[in-house]
Structure 1
Amino acid sequence: MLQEIEEQPRALAETIREERAKVERLGKFLRERDIDLIIMVARGSSDNAALFGRYLMEIRTGIPVSLSAPSVYTLYGARLKLDRALVIGVSQSGEGEDINRVLARARECGAFTLGITNEPTSTMTRIVDETLLMHGGREQSVAATKTYTGQMMLFYMLAEALTDGATPKLDFEKIPEYVARALALRPIVEELVARYVFMENCVVVGRGLSYANAYELALKLMETCYVVAERFSSADFFHGPLAIVERHFPIILFAPPGVTLPGVMSLLERLRELRADTLAITSERAVAELCTRSIRMPEELNEFLAPIPYIVPGQLFAALLAEAKGLDPDKPRSLSKVTRTL
């Protein structure tokens, strides 16, 4: 897991280089097709990447994006009207049976189908109209890291390809370098995990473009550290879940700059009153001053480029915490790399 976390700058740069021309052609084709709905279908970490894609695509393109409920297709056999829809399947292995069945059914219903996967010879690639590939090499760790960020990168590229020329560019080409800088924070994370060795439960908070990272870090903590980790947006956390917080209760927050920051600050002020144990991944001095502990990110990172670099300290935290607990993050109990469900 740690090796694959370290591989991410190279993997992301390779994905940009290898898929750029294909994504640009695909974007032109989809604009001409006049797509007015995008549906994502995924499970696990890929579902978290799709959640990020939903926020980014809606913000950048104005096209409504829905996260599919696979059982609507696989168990209830519903036939949807998808003539002007783009249906995107997201799967590290490309072998998820429910994901592939949804893609096949969506294509029958008139949708243009796109697969995002790490495996060029997988079943998914034979089902969809077009495929976008991650280029990080085979992922061995059960806990996805480089494929999660690789999927996010492809959503950056696709979102930009679907926008008109008047929309300011995202400069996603800078992200691999920011990820390399985030990896340099490993000594700080190693020092931090010693304080959380006996953590059994926690909450992870993020909002907007960082909401998916809250889901992803919580999943990593559950599958590698066996920590019961709930995830919320900073807004939703005020609506009931705040009642679980007591003195020293651990809460991890993604707090990048941008429009979601005031809400995070308000939550942190309340958590400070409750004497919670707060750990923020942030570039903001004001956030760090409100928290028990913080991991400081580069100040020049804007909210649109932050999601991939910000998850890297979270990945390191989960892998290193597992080791500190005497667990093997590469062999989580009861799990396998490919999960087959319907």
Structure 2
Amino acid sequence: MLPKEIIKEIKEKETDIKSLIFVGCGASIADLYPAKYFLEENSKEIRVSSYTANEFNYATPKSVNSNSIIITASLGGATPETVEATIKAKKLGAYVISLTKEKDSPLAKANPDYLIVHGFGKNYASKLEKMTIALQLAVEVLNQFEGYDAYQEMLNGFNKIYDLIEESVLSIVPQAKEFAATYKDEEVVYFMSSGATQNVAYATSICLFMEMQWINSGNFHAGEFFHGPFEIVEEGVPFVLFMNEGKTRPIDSRALTFLQRFDAKVTVLDAKDFGLSSEISKEVVDYFNPMLLTAIMRVYAQQLAEARNHPLTKRRYMWKLEY
């Protein structure tokens, strides 16, 4: 079923949805963040929150009942904590929607009310289906339960974002190779962004760099940069800044100005350079930055992995030990 049909069916059963909770781990909880950000900014009535899966399991919010929708996500569908959270949410009477790329996974067998199987391996755009579908679900919840004036603009954005991603990734390999050559020997790299893209910085830091490249990393909101982290800035300290189009761009710009002032080693991935607002209405462009910038960063990470002779699939502990 499509997101619109799923939310319509839920509304036919329960007209008084009071809360929507996003649950996942690692990159998956980061992929759900743009949807959470969208609802937090636009919903007037529905309570919105997100939980890393095991915190949901051990400190389950009291709002989980028949008046709530829980969206769980796990790329391969085998994350034990997320599977448990799905089962728990179901037992508490919530409407559970699960996102995964594996239709026969443990997450699917946890029997959510709705299972959405997304793509991943076909191309760079398919890697962003989980994030985009979660946002589509959030848009449908808002529009169907409260109404949303920019609904058509969001639909137009959904129709354009995948093509824009594929066009953009084809143009950036030279820059990605340069990034890889420049950063391959760094012992630590810091990541920053704001708005809906905040957790792109988070996921890049903890997954692509710490997990997949064994490079020490930190990440923080660009607005929080001046409340502690900027003290480590000096010449040559490596940063990656994800620049948004939209309302929070001044926050990113302020951070960039400071990094350049003290000659930090900074790479800027700017959605504006790829024509995001030329394709998508300025009224809703904020919510599409994360998809585009995640895809761009994935190309950079692949080139870094090749330059370091360290495949993105290489692990020291994950999938090898009991933990």
- Counterpart contact for 2:120–2:127, Cα < 8 Å: no
- The correspondence of residues 1-342 of structure 1 with structure 2, limited to 5 A, is 21-32=1-12, 33=14, 34-62=16-44, 63-72=46-55, 74-75=57-58, 81-126=64-109, 127-136=111-120, 149-162=128-141, 163=143, 164=147, 166-169=149-152, 170=154, 171=156, 172-184=158-170, 185-218=172-205, 219-284=207-272, 296-298=273-275, 300=278, 302-336=285-319
Deviations 1:94-116 (A, max 9, x none): 22222121221222222111111
Measure the CA separation in 2 of the matches of 1:223 and 1:328: 11
Change (3 A) 1:189 1:128: same
Deviations 1:267-324 (A, max 9, x none): 122222222111111145xxxxxxxxxxx32252533322211112211111211211
- Counterpart contact for 1:45–1:148, Cα < 8 Å: no
Measure the CA separation in 1 of the matches of 2:161 and 2:52: 31
- Runs (4+) of structure 1 exceeding 6 A deviation are 76-79
Measure the CA separation in 2 of the matches of 1:215 and 1:205: 8
Deviations 1:152-195 (A, max 9, x none): 11123212322136433212110111111121111221123211
Q: State TM-score, norm by structure 1.
A: 0.80
Measure the CA separation in 2 of the matches of 1:153 and 1:213: 13
Measure the CA separation in 1 of the matches of 2:92 and 2:189: 42
- Secondary structure (helix, strand or coil) at the match of 1:213 reads helix
Distance apart, 1:49 and its partner CA: 0.6
- Secondary structure (helix, strand or coil) at the match of 1:110 reads coil
- Secondary structure (helix, strand or coil) at the match of 2:223 reads helix
Percent identity between the two aligned chains: 22
- Counterpart contact for 1:186–1:313, Cα < 8 Å: no
What's the C-alpha RMSD, in Å, of the aligned pairs? 2.6
**What is the one-letter code of the residue matched to 2:167?**
R
- Counterpart contact for 2:19–2:63, Cα < 8 Å: no
Moved more, 220-229 or 162-171: 162-171
Distance apart, 1:147 and its partner CA: 6.8
- Counterpart contact for 1:182–1:310, Cα < 8 Å: no
Q: 2:282 maps to which residue?
A: none
Distance apart, 1:27 and its partner CA: 1.8
Measure the CA separation in 2 of the matches of 1:308 and 1:192: 20
- Secondary structure (helix, strand or coil) at the match of 1:314 reads helix
**What is the one-letter code of the residue matched to 1:195?**
T
Deviations 1:2-29 (A, max 9, x none): xxxxxxxxxxxxxxxxxxx532211213
**What is the one-letter code of the residue matched to 2:243?**
A
Structure 2 residue runs without a partner (length 5+): 280-284
Q: State TM-score, norm by structure 2.
A: 0.85
The size of the alignment, in residue pairs, is: 304
Change (3 A) 1:309 1:81: closer
Change (3 A) 1:226 1:137: closer
- Counterpart contact for 2:201–2:242, Cα < 8 Å: yes
